[in-house]
A and B are shown apart, each in its own frame.
Chain A
């Protein structure tokens, strides 16, 4: 399957430099277009990554200032040493903070992706979007439940690594159905998660890196690679 796609792409690049016979060239362009549209979710907007990253950074900052009152550094791990009441208090704050960040990030992601799909005249919720979301959700939900188990056992130390690792695995799994950048982003999140598990106590810092900075970075990269160009192409075509 992959071989066929690669084969098609190579052919198309060859084709770009000559215009003698339009017929086979048009056929290949149509084939490639349909293969891509039917097997990859290409409406995913880079801007949704950027907005999710910004929201995540704001959420981490809030957590930092809240914790900073008692703990000068990013050390969530040392909270296990605090009185039980304090732990509960900050746990609820962090949990609500995390849920608010998640919901806002998802909403902004859906907004930008729908906008991109509409601009290109594509359906947002088609079979490939469904497949991508299902493949994203299986590891993500497993991770979510695992984090609840961690909270239940009060293993706060492992919370940051677990969220990052499972999120990375979810992206890796979903990347089969969308842009290649998502795969690389997933691998980076897994790496950050493993690092966070090693350097416990810097959870917030790793969250800011993984969910904030990386999202913004990859969102911008995807935007400039896939969207900015298309807008220019449209302009050229309309002229």
Chain B
């Protein structure tokens, strides 16, 4: 019983972080504004979560300019993909355990 659940990824405890990873796992890359619309949160909040995920190497950030407007695009890293998959499997085990 003790270790079948495995480790809970502390990274994904926050709703926003989990949301960011969900979106990035099915999109090649996405810009800040689209991400904000999807997550329905404030600029500052989203930015700080994105920074944390980037620091941990789970997501990749590319800054560029479209005309004069800065445009930041985010994508998932292989490490991030792995961590997200593990988290999903963790949730699956948690649920399966309850059904037995």
Interface residues of chain A, those whose CB is within 8 Å of chain B, are 1, 4-5, 7-8, 11, 14-15, 18, 20-21, 24-25, 27-28, 30-31, 34-35, 37-39, 123, 126-127
- The SS class assigned to the A binding surface is helix
| Contact between B94 and A21, CB atoms less than 8 A apart | yes
Instruction: Pick from B15, B26, B38, B91: contact of A24, CB below 8 A.
Output: B91
B95 to chain A, nearest CB (A): 6
| Interface contact A25-B22, CB-CB below 8 Å | no
B15:A35 contact, CB within 8 angstroms: no
The reply to whether A38 and B27 form a contact with Cβ atoms under 8 Å apart is yes
Contact of A31 among B38, B88, B99 (CB under 8 A): B88
Interfacial chain B residues near A8, Cβ < 8 Å? 88
On whether the beta carbons of A27 and B18 are closer than 8 Å, the reply is: yes
Question: Is B11 close to A, CB under 8 A?
Answer: no
Min CB distance, B30 to chain A, in Å? 6
Query: Roughly how many angstroms separate A146 CA and B41 CA in the complex, as a whole number?
Result: 46
A29 to chain B, nearest CB (A): 11
A-B contact count (CB 8 A): 68
Kindly report which residue of chain A lies nearest to residue B30, judged by CB atoms: A127
Contact present for B26 and A127 (CB under 8 Å):
no
Question: Nearest B residue to A35 by beta-carbon distance?
Answer: B26
Contact between A34 and B88 (Cβ–Cβ < 8 Å)? no
A27-B18, A127-B30 are known contacts. Are A35 and B95 too (CB-CB below 8 A)? no
Tell me if B52 counts as interface (CB < 8 A to partner A). Answer: no
Whether the Cβ atoms of A28 and B91 lie closer than 8 Å is yes
Which of A24, A38, A123, A127 is close to B95, meaning CB atoms less than 8 Å apart? A24
B25 and A4 contacting across the interface, CB-CB below 8 Å? yes
Contact of B91 among A18, A20, A27, A34 (CB under 8 A): A27
Is the CB of B34 closer than 8 A to any CB of chain A?
Answer: yes
Mask for B55-82, Cβ within 8 A of A = 1, else 0? 0000000000000000000000000000
